[in-house]
């Protein structure tokens, strides 16, 4: 199980200054997204087409993602609160969050392997 209290997955140079990373236990967020049926479709999607679409809406997508990350962080790892918060969001927003969770997992594991 992986805890990420108070840390962010990105360097400040890599993203807009307002971007904040997920905090706490990424596994809880992943599990909630999986239980909601978000993970499987994201794994099966055409990534090239999806990423091209995201690039055309970069600033809007980042603002939405930042808001969602703040909502999830306020839940402080409580799976039920996270589920309630995410249930109100559009499917495309949940897909972007799932991608962010995957990125943070990848960043965590790449740092873990280097150290």
For the record, the structure tokens of 58 come out as: 């970069």
Q: Provide the domain count of the chain.
A: 1
Q: Does residue 13 belong to any structural domain of this protein? A: no
Three-state DSSP state, 25: strand
* Local confidence band at 109 (pLDDT 50, 70, 90 cut-offs): confident
Q: Does residue 6 belong to any structural domain of this protein? A: no
Q: What pLDDT digit, counting tens, does each position of 26-65 carry?
A: 899 999 999 999 999 988 888 677 667 666 666 666 668 8
Q: Does residue 20 belong to any structural domain of this protein? A: no
Range of the domain at 54: 26-114
Q: What are 3's strand-pairing partners? A: 25
Separation CA 32–CA 104 (nearest Å): 16
Q: Does residue 76 belong to any structural domain of this protein? A: yes
Q: Does residue 36 belong to any structural domain of this protein? A: yes
Q: Does residue 96 belong to any structural domain of this protein? A: yes
For the record, the structure tokens of 46 come out as: 């055409």
Query: Is 0.75 surpassed by the pTM of this model?
Result: no
Is 79 exposed, middle or buried, given 0-12, 13-18 or 19+ CB atoms closer than 10 A?
middle
Q: Does residue 90 belong to any structural domain of this protein? A: yes
């Amino acid at each position: 199980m992986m805890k990420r209290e108070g840390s962010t997955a990105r360097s400040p140079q890599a993203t807009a200054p307002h971007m904040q990373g997920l905090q706490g236990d990424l596994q809880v967020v992943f599990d909630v997204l999986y239980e909601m049926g978000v993970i499987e479709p994201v794994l099966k999607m055409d990534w090239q087409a999806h990423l091209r679409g995201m690039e055309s809406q970069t600033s809007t997508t980042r603002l939405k993602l930042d808001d969602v990350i703040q909502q999830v962080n306020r839940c402080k790892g409580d799976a039920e609160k996270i589920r309630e918060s995410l249930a109100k969001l559009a499917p495309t927003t949940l897909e972007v969050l799932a991608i962010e969770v995957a990125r943070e997992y990848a960043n965590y594991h790449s740092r873990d392997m280097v150290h």
